[in-house]
Amino acid sequence: MSLLFTFEYPKDIKPTVKYVKDKCKVNYSQFVKFNDIFKKVKQLEQTDKDVQYLYDMTARKGIKLDGTHYAFTIFHLNKKDTVLFFPEHFGDEKKCCKFYNWETGKPIGYTGEVKRKFKKLMSNMFGEEIYQAQRPAKVDDCKRQRITYIPKLQIIYHLFEYLELGGSFMINVKHYCDCMDFEIFYLLSLLFKRVTICDGSYYYGEDFLGEDRIDKETVKKMLTSNFKIEPKPKFDEYVRYLQEMFKNKTRHFELMLKKDEDAFLQNLFTFYEKLITEMNVEDSQFLYNQIYHSIIEKFRRTIVDGKIKKIHSAIKKEEGENITKLMKKYDLKKCIEVGMAFGISATYILTGNKNASLISIDPFQSTQWENYGMKLLKEFKIEKNHKLMEEKSYIALPKILMEHGEDSFDFIFIDGWHTFEMTNIDFFYATHLIKKGGIILVDDALHSSVAQSIRFFDSNYPHFKKLDVFKTQVAYQKIGEDERPWNYYSPF
């Protein structure tokens, strides 16, 4: 089933609002099951380090698309043109809700103070008073839903005053515990031309209609009375969609409680893969690559043929980010790496500059590493700018030198055989291959034999400048020609 559900209330149907407590015929079992397992997760998250780790890395820190939450990306909400609109206080109409500048985090003002309308509004959090009120019920989301239901309606009521006609609005509706939770969907469908739900929780209204189909006073009365909107077109389809979404959410938390990290991540990856496919955006590969990098960086896993695989030899997140910074800062394009393994460093190099090309030297790629590095590049769809040489570096580097000549590369990453003499051989050829202004980056700088080599480089290559970079990596920039005398040597 699709992760998105889009609905337009038919123009030829005239809705009515009745102020009664409705008993809708909905099978709540899936929603109850989710609420029960979510309680367990929230309770264990306080005491169980494994559950806390998985919860923190997904629910709190999150795997993000384009640097933000996936729902914001889907609905094209960004910090420059979207204003945050949160419920702050109970009861006080003039100060019930507050506007914030999303980009700066600074308050704009309360309802009653602000005198302008906005093009895009988003409500996905609560102010301190409401947050504290629902905090005792933190592990029971149905109780939280009851406490926060009226504040959400207050936000919707104030759209008449603060949202431009034709504007858009997103609100987070996390749980479905009785009929009133379903009414919010139909209320929004009368206020907007189109309403889309993502993952069963994020409601996005497009093209605000104002009082075209429902007036402000009718919505105001909803703040103090139970109500139901009739008829409810596609109600059964809407409920089936929600049940399917919460079935998947339940599965997600079941795997978290089982602490089956690989199955948990596979389920998460499948969700994002499907979501990006449904988004149908122009640069979907860019979003895929963000997911791959998130899984690699946060969980030390890679993606091979769409499956999760544990990494046991690769650079760390900070080291990869360091490569990306160097690629961008110095506009490094023509690159070599000694050592490929799982292909993690290769992805940072090839995604760090869209014009980058890379030669990877790894004699064990198809044997010891089972071509995991090559397969990862295919997942990232960056293999066309890559060449693999399955040879020892002391054989491959002279060949590259013969073919390309001296001073022909912008960036060389050394992460191969870590003996003193092999590190020196790799660096020797790198100094001849790198052009003036280019960068040689040596990995595992704290490894004893590599550290010894670095002391030698520091003392004996005056035409290279040592850069201040990440502590486990050392970078050298070529600043001039090699003008050392034939017998130059500096003790180290």
* Encoded tokens for 424: 């020196």
Residue 245 confidence (pLDDT):
93
> Same structural domain for residues 268 and 135?
no
Residue 87 confidence (pLDDT):
87
Domain membership of residue 358 as a residue range: 317-478
* Encoded tokens for 179: 């009929």
> Same structural domain for residues 364 and 418?
yes
> Same structural domain for residues 195 and 113?
yes
> Same structural domain for residues 89 and 204?
yes
> Same structural domain for residues 294 and 404?
no
* Among 469, 467, 465, CA closest to 480: 465
Examine residue 488 and state whether it is found in any structural domain, yes or no: no
Q: What is the mean pLDDT of each run of 10 residues along the chain (492 residues)?
A: 92 91 78 88 87 77 58 74 86 81 90 93 79 62 78 93 96 81 93 94 95 94 90 95 93 91 87 82 77 81 81 86 94 98 95 95 95 92 96 98 97 96 97 98 95 96 90 95 94 92
> Same structural domain for residues 57 and 191?
yes
What is the tens place of the pLDDT at every residue in 350-393?
999 999 999 999 999 999 999 999 999 998 889 999 999 999 99
Amino acid, res. 488? Y
Examine residue 424 and state whether it is found in any structural domain, yes or no: yes
> Same structural domain for residues 322 and 466?
yes
> Same structural domain for residues 130 and 91?
yes
CATH for 392: 3.40.50.150
Examine residue 491 and state whether it is found in any structural domain, yes or no: no
* Alpha-carbon span 296 to 134, nearest angstrom: 36
* Among 379, 368, 255, CA closest to 312: 368
Examine residue 254 and state whether it is found in any structural domain, yes or no: no
Examine residue 248 and state whether it is found in any structural domain, yes or no: no
> Same structural domain for residues 106 and 183?
yes
* Alpha-carbon span 214 to 220, nearest angstrom: 11
Using the CB atoms, write b or e for 412-421: b if 16+ within 10 Å: bbbbbbbeee
> Same structural domain for residues 17 and 159?
yes
Residues with Cβ within 8 Å of residue 442, at least 6 apart in sequence = 414, 415, 423, 427, 450, 453, 454, 457, 473, 474, 475, 476
Residue 45 confidence (pLDDT):
83
How many separate domains does the chain show? 3
> Same structural domain for residues 78 and 35?
yes
- Picking from 268, 293, 310, the residue at the C-terminal end of a domain is 310
Examine residue 487 and state whether it is found in any structural domain, yes or no: no
> Same structural domain for residues 87 and 221?
yes
What is the tens place of the pLDDT at every residue in 100-149?
998 888 999 999 899 999 999 999 877 667 767 666 545 566 777 777 88
Nearest-Å Rg of the Cα atoms of the chain is: 28
Examine residue 492 and state whether it is found in any structural domain, yes or no: no
0.85 surpassed by pTM: no
Mark residue 405 as left, alpha or beta (left: phi above 0; alpha: psi -120 to 50; beta: remaining).
left
Examine residue 272 and state whether it is found in any structural domain, yes or no: yes
Residue 86 confidence (pLDDT):
87
Residues with Cβ within 8 Å of residue 441, at least 6 apart in sequence = 322, 323, 326, 411, 412, 413, 414, 469, 473, 474, 475, 476
Residue 336 confidence (pLDDT):
98
Q: How many residues does the chain have?
A: 492
